[in-house]
Structures are given as structure tokens and as C-alpha cells.
Chains A and B, each alone.
Chain A
């Protein structure tokens, strides 16, 4: 059974703080993704990675960076958190680029005050 875990379910941070969101998958998947989910906007892709140390910008990368030092771990970094980054953050992985299914973690609800 594929498992994607995220380091926190809920997180509260202050404006200007550096925030790390961690995601780990246990199925040796090549691709990993970070999305944010906002009501009425659906899921928007922030960054994705198709291999260790490789990263590609998604649709809304501004204000975010990522790190993939090991295949199983994909980190999302908010360099200086702002209130408009308050959102639900979802991590996903897929076996290869041709895979039909992305497997999602439970999400991290981040509040920036």
C-alpha cells in the first residue's frame, strides 16, 4: 500500500518566518508534487520533481522553493511566510511520468498570522 506522509497536519507560523513542509513517500516513486488547495480554486501546482535534485516550477512557484535530496523526500520551503500563503498544502507522488495515479498525503493546513 502506497503511503505518502506529511510532517504536520496543522501548522501556525508568524509572518516572515521560514517554514519547512516535509513529505515522504515509501514506494520508490520517481515523481513528487506540491500543491496548494484553496476554496473555489481547486488544486494549484507549486513545484514538482521527477528525480533526485531535479525540480520544475509549477503554476504558482512565487514565494516558494523546494528541495529533493533523497528520492523519498520532497520538501517545500516558504522563505518568508506571508498571510496570503495561509492554505492547505498537499503533497503527491507518482511512480513515473506515464503513471495514471498520483498518491496524495493527508495535507498540512498552514496558517500564517
Chain B
């Protein structure tokens, strides 16, 4: 079945770039998503990319998609302490708006 995999933890220093990686199995996914969960809160959509694109940039965020390797990454430039959160990768499953989520990567930003 469909599966989305992420590493669980990433620690960076304030001002550095963070790169969060994700692999997925469903090659028919139309869209891939990055959600952010701040402590004590639900998830919020950060950005998404259509499967026929290989890059999308939105201010400090860059999403790279390698469709051949089924690999998605999220780069956060100039990472700030406010970026500390759990980041979830998700793919659309095509069934009634369902999403398949990865395990989430906990990003810790040290001053």
C-alpha cells in the first residue's frame, strides 16, 4: 500500500539551512504536501507541489521533488527558533481528499 517515510529528528543552529527529507511509494500521487505542527496545536499547511513540477519556492521555503526516486525535500533557509516544530510530508491518495502522512520530522533549532 501507500507509504510515506521521514526521519524523526533534525537539529540545526539558528541561521543555518534545514533540509527535511521524505520518500513516498505512490507514483500516482498528484500533489505532495508539507504540513507544520507547532507545540500543542493542530497541523497547518505550509506548501504543496504538483507532481509535474520539480521545484517550488515560497519565501524561505524551497520544495524539491524527484519523481523518479519518489523523494521530496523541504529546505528552510535562515532557520529561526520559531521554525521549531514537527514537519509532516503527505501525499494525496486520490480517494475523497484523503492524505497519507509520514511520521513527522521534529525540527529543533538551537540559538
Query: Which residues of A are at the interface with B, using a C-beta cutoff of 8 A?
Result: 4, 31, 33, 35, 40-45, 48, 50, 56, 58, 90, 92, 94, 96-102, 104-107
Contact = CB atoms under 8 A, between A and B. Distances in A.
Interface stretch (B56-64, B66-74, B92-100): B92-100
B77 interface: no
A53 B101 CA distance: 26
Contact of A106 (B40, B48, B101, B104): B40
Contacts of A101: 45
A99 B97 contact: yes
Nearest to A58: B98
A98 B102 CA distance: 21
B97 A97 contact: yes
A92 B90 CA distance: 14
Interface of B: 4, 6, 8, 31, 33, 40-45, 48, 88, 95-99, 101-104
Given A102-B45, A106-B42, A40 B96 contact: no
A36 B101 CA distance: 11
Nearest to A41: B103
Report, nearest first, the 7 A-B pairs whose CB atoms are least far apart: A104-B42, A42-B103, A43-B101, A97-B97, A104-B43, A101-B45, A42-B101
A107 B104 contact: no
Contacts of A50: 96-97
A56 B96 contact: yes
Contact of B88 (A43, A56, A97): A43
B110 to A, nearest CB: 21
A48 B96 contact: yes
14 contacts: A31-B96, A35-B101, A41-B103, A43-B43, A43-B101, A45-B98, A56-B96, A58-B98, A90-B42, A98-B97, A99-B97, A100-B33, A106-B41, A106-B42
A45 B99 CA distance: 8
Contacts of B33: 100
B108 to A, nearest CB: 15
